[in-house]
Amino acid sequence: MIPLFETGQPLKFGLDGLIPAIVQDPGTRSVLMLGYMNQQAIDLTRSTGFVTFFSRSKNRLWKKGEESGNVLHAKEMRGDCDGDALLVLASPAGPTCHTGTDTCWAEANEPSAISFLTTLEQVIESRIESGDDSSTSLPSYLSSKLPKNLHNFFVFPPIPKL
């Protein structure tokens, strides 16, 4: 079950039974798209793990990517402070927008320097939590996550074997 966190007020739906849902890629932090959900769409997203909206144009439940295959894999949902908007953290299987671009704002969904630091922070936190103090695989792992335009600014020396 995908977790749904309320950060403030309980969820409030509009008169049409819908609540706006902003989709963000948890890896790159790019904002991918905006959709609308009713209670059933929220329940389906949480139980199936596939982001499902209520499409106002189709006037029915709509699993994102049901035709294109470009589904969104939900990780977490959060209500906002007022409970009148949802943030859906989800990893895209392909370009999110029906026009073929990665996001509905015609942006490429690429790792940024900020997302690299977020990844670094998560790696360090998970290693502290798991008590894993081996660092041999970290440089190559991190260099694979570093945005290409920043590669020239870093050197990743091999870790000597002890």
**Strand bridging mode 86-92 / 19-24:** parallel
Beta strand spans in 71-138 (E): 72-79, 86-92
CB-side neighbour CA atoms (13 Å) of 118: 12
Q: Minimum distance from CB of 104 to Zn ion (Å)?
A: 3
**Strand bridging mode 4-6 / 72-79:** parallel
By C-beta, is 11 or 71 nearer to Zn ion?
71
By C-beta, is 106 or 124 nearer to Zn ion?
106
Contacting range for Zn ion; rule: CB under 5 A; set: 66-74, 96-104, 120-128, 130-138 = 96-104
According to CB under 5 A, which one of 22, 93, 97, 123 is a site residue for Zn ion?
97
Site for Zn ion in 98-117 (CB under 5 A): 104
Q: Minimum distance from CB of 111 to Zn ion (Å)?
A: 21
By C-beta, is 98 or 151 nearer to Zn ion?
98
CA distance 161 to 136: 8
Q: Does 31 bind Zn ion (CB under 5 A)?
A: no
By C-beta, is 104 or 146 nearer to Zn ion?
104
User: Exposed, middle or buried: residue 71 (CB in 10 Å: 0-12, 13-18, 19+)?
Assistant: buried
Note the residues at the interface with Zn ion (CB under 5 A). 97, 104
